[in-house]
Amino acid sequence: MESFEVGYPQAEETERLKVINADFILANAYGKRSQIIYSFDVNVKNIPQDRVYTRVILENPADSALPIVYEHHFNKNERLIQVIHGPLNNVVMHKKYTIKLQLFEDAERTKLIDEVAQVVVSSLDNTSGCVELSSDYKKIYFEGTKDPKGNVIPIDKLMIWCAL
């Protein structure tokens, strides 16, 4: 097995785009607890015109043949694109997933200006229907978590809520 670290990957950057803080996050969202969600930001610089058109392509953990695609626009005076998508199903721990942002000159998205792709390695897994966390993820994000009486919960005893 290849080496794996919890945390944000090395930022991918082009002349106009820089992906930052790309990761899978765990959140109580969409009316449910413990959902896995894509989250990343893109710093934008050197936009060549007043408005550019964007396309975000997220690898779909549930079906890699059907990527998750969002299209929008971006104005020259804006500097940050924030992407949050979820819930995600069938996320496999330590698997690499690719997220991509493309900038286009035209609304029809035929004239590509720039694109950046970022690989994200999941430290979470929900293939069983419940969310599992890597031991490193637990240590970094949950070490020192206390129960209602104020006692520190041992990391190996920490459980994430599950509907099953």
Domains in the chain (CATH in brackets) are 17-125 (2.60.40.10)
How remote is the C-alpha of 31 from its chain's centroid?
Answer: 19
- Chain segment 63-98, per-residue pLDDT in tens: 999 999 999 998 989 989 999 999 999 999 999 999
pLDDT > 90? residue 163:
no
Amino acid identity for residue 17 in this structure: L
- Chain segment 96-131, per-residue pLDDT in tens: 999 999 999 999 999 999 999 999 999 999 999 889
Q: What is the pTM of this model?
A: 0.86
pLDDT value of residue 139:
84
- Chain segment 44-67, per-residue pLDDT in tens: 988 889 999 999 999 999 999 999
144 φψ region: left (φ > 0), alpha (ψ -120 to 50), beta (else): left
Angstrom distances, CA of residue 107 to CA of 37, 100, 141, 145? 28, 18, 41, 48
- CA gap 29, 25 in Å, rounded: 11
pLDDT value of residue 6:
59
The tally of CA atoms less than 13 A away on the side-chain side of residue 142 is: 16
Sheet holding 51-58, edge to edge: 68-75, 51-58, 96-104, 112-121
- CA gap 71, 9 in Å, rounded: 24
pLDDT value of residue 59:
97
Rg (CA), the chain: 18
Identify the residue whose tokens are 């590509």.
Answer: 112
- Highest mean pLDDT among 11-20, 139-148, 152-161 belongs to 11-20
